[in-house]
Amino acid sequence: MIDTNSATWLAMKKAAEEMIARAQRELEVRGTAPDATEFERGRIKALRDVLALADPKLAIKETVPFI
């Protein structure tokens, strides 16, 4: 489980949000090549996936013993 109050997580979250904002601005530039927009969209998706790791619904609720 991720401690969403830790200094590490807060710094990572801030950096990821800044990277998402920068990528979104890049998407708004006219004349951007299609492959570049796909790259930026992929970057945004990956960063949002990392931020979603803090979602408590994704936390492990129980362990399963291996036999």
Contact predicate 53/4, CB 8 Å:
no
Q: Whole-prediction pTM value?
A: 0.77
Q: Average model confidence (pLDDT) for the chain?
A: 88
For residue 62, the model assigns a pLDDT of 67
**pLDDT at residue 57, rounded to an integer:** 77
Contact by Cβ (8 Å): 23, 46: no
Q: Extract the tokens encoding 61.
A: 């609720």
